[in-house]
Amino acid sequence: MADLSFPLITAAVVIPLAGAAVVLLSKSHNRVASVVAASAASLCSLELFWQVHSAGGARLVEPWALGLFAADTLNATFLVLYSLLTLGILVLAPRRDTNPSMSGSTLLVLSATLAAYGADNMLLLAAGWIVSALPFIVGPFNGTWRPRVGLALSCAALLGAIGIIGSAALSDGATQPFSLAALQGHNYGGSAAFALLIAAIVCRKGIFPAHAWIEDAAEAGPVLPFCLFINGHLGAFILARVVIPEFPLSAQGAFPILSDLALCTALYAAVRAVAESSARRILALLVLSQSACILAGLESATPEGITGALVHCIVVAVATAGLFSVLRLMEVRFGRSFTADHYLGLARYTPRLAVFFAVCGLALVGLPGTLGFCSEDLLIHGTLVSHPQIGLLLPVATAMNAVSLFRLFSKMFLGGRSTVVHGMTDAIPRERWTLAAIAFFIVAAGLTPATVVAFRANAAQETSHALAPVPESAILAESCSPGVCP
């Protein structure tokens, strides 16, 4: 363990928070202030990423006495990915989506999500989890209550778990009752804390039966902030950061069932997407299906499955950001929401946006030559090793997702008779270059996947080691009270 040369995580968290305050108070130059703040956070995250991997994946802590933040191979990639993703969305967002409220909320979610990623303290992690969900709990959702309830339940479950863990650690005389590094493997709180953590993850990720809020949030709320929020993948991150290191024995017993539930959710969402007509709901169901695949990979307890899940987090975040961005840009140009009922033939007016949508969609379902092909291959291999029968649901769900994406693309962009839309323009420069960067990354990383996999291999190896079978003597020692075991 070593110190960072500069408190980079603190800077990455504080700068967007200050930017949000500036945007909300000044109510002018929203895009400029937001882009500057997100750019600064991205530069801090990139430098942090470089230092972590220059140190051979060693754990780096900030030079602060409180020790609230730390970086390693697991969270360094998440920090960079989310910062750059938010920057891209802020750059290409339509003018009507860059009002002070929207821009300030986006920066607040960025700051809170980065704080949760970098936290080495459970209280700070919970604060980031709750604040990142706050704009969606109190925000505008027309005629639906399920997003608020689902996110509120996830926050309550996480707070309950941390309260139980902290109380158990204090009663055991722990000097740092909320430090993630100090509590690894202690199993404080037992099955109650573990169950609450799993409940928080299930509600946040939308795993069945807590899946309905994902569709409602995409349909009734602002689509680009929803895309950023759902692609934070904090549920998967906390599973790898907290649940597996803190409760390895409970995880070994529960993960086979939870992995089956995630695979069933992936297939269920894929089936729902095939029958859905609303474009927003189709993309939301695709994100839900792919997110469930990520959880199944993490819960497979195999190095291939865990590596595939960590790589697939990148694929899903980047590809769905491109898909939702193109959809929103098309909604603004077309003047209304899209449904997969008619062939609109809009590729005649927006050929570049059609190509970007196709590339992102094909990457999401694992087309060879994109990064999605590598991550899907690792996920399928890992889940089939751990679940030889039900693991077959993953490739079936992926194939059905491909059908849904092709159907949506065809209805929006193809067709013999084009809908007449006067004054409809293709991607303007700031939209074109941002989407081109997304497409370039997807293809370039797909042509050289070993580079991306190497960045995630260390984190996957540490996670799989935590889930390795524990000797019977260790299980007996943990399950017995002091002075009772022979």
Question: Per mean pLDDT, which of 31-45, 167-181, 403-417 is the most reliable?
Answer: 31-45
Indicate if the pLDDT at residue 8 is higher than 70.
yes
What is the DSSP track for 242-293?
IIHHH-HHHHHHHHHHHHHHHHHHHHHHHHHHHH--BHHHHHHHHHHHHHHH
CB 118 within 8 A of CB 79: yes
Q: Could you give the CA distance from residue 79 to residue 62 in angstroms, rounded to a whole number?
A: 15
pTM of the prediction? 0.88
Task: Please say if the pLDDT value at position 480 is more than 60.
Answer: no
Q: What average pLDDT does the segment 196-214 reach?
A: 86
**Rounded distance, CA 299 to CA 164, Å?**
23
Q: For tokens 């499955």, what's the residue?
A: 305
**What's residue 374's pLDDT?**
86
pLDDT band of residue 470 (cuts 50, 70, 90) is very low
Residue 121: phi and psi, rounded to 5, are: -135, 130
DSSP-derived letter for residue 344 is -
Quote the pLDDT of residue 336.
67
Give, in degrees to the nearest 5, the angle at Cα 111 between 151 and 218.
40
pLDDT at 486 over 70: no
> How far is residue 241's CA from residue 128's CA, in Å, rounded to a whole number?
14
Q: 448: which 2 tokens?
A: 């050289």
Compute the average pLDDT of residues 276-281: 87
Could you tell me which of 233, 232, 237 has the C-alpha nearest to residue 86? 232
For the record, the structure tokens of 22 come out as 């500036």
pLDDT at 258: 84
Sheet holding 70-71, edge to edge: 2-3, 60-61, 70-71
**Which structure tokens are listed for 118?**
């970098």
Helix axes 279-298, 190-205, angle to 10 degrees: 150
Amino acid in the structure at residue 126: A
**Which tens digits make up the pLDDT trace of 65-101?**
566 888 888 888 899 999 999 999 999 988 888 888 8
Residue 292 has what pLDDT? 87
* Residue 90 to residue 113: CA distance in whole angstroms: 16
What's the rounded Cα separation, in Å, for the pair 478 and 172?
Answer: 14
**Most confidently modeled range among 132-141, 348-357, 384-393:** 348-357
Whether 56 shows a pLDDT value over 80: the answer reads no
Token code pair at residue 318: 């980047």
pLDDT at 14: 92
Q: Which residue has the tokens 């709990």?
A: 137
Helix, strand, or coil (residue 60): strand
Backbone angles phi, psi at 304, to 5 degrees: -65, -45
pLDDT class of 478 with cuts at 50, 70, 90: very low
Q: Is 38's pLDDT higher than 70? A: yes
**pLDDT for residue 206:** 84
* Full set of structural domains in the chain with CATH: 1-120 (1.20.120), 127-246 (no CATH), 256-469 (no CATH)
Which residue do the tokens 């809009």 mark? 346
CA atoms of 161 and 159, how far apart (whole Å):
5
Would you state the pLDDT for residue 88? Answer: 93
- Over 60: is that where the pLDDT of 308 sits? yes
pLDDT at 441: 92
The answer, yes or no, to whether residue 342 has pLDDT greater than 70, is: yes
What local confidence, expressed as pLDDT, does residue 474 receive?
42
Percent of the chain with pLDDT over 70: 88
Beta-carbon neighbour count of residue 423 at 10 Å?
A: 6
Terminal Cα distance for the chain, rounded? 37
- Please check whether residue 9 is in contact with residue 71, taking contact to mean a CB–CB distance below 8 angstroms: yes
Q: Are 239 and 231 in contact (CB under 8 A)?
A: no
Distance CA 366, CA 481 (A): 50
What is the torsional sign of CA 359, 363, 368, 371?
A: positive
Q: Which residue has the higher pLDDT, 190 or 182?
A: 190
pLDDT band at 423 (very low <50, low <70, confident <90, very high): low
Triad 193, 194, 196: Cα angle to 5°: 65
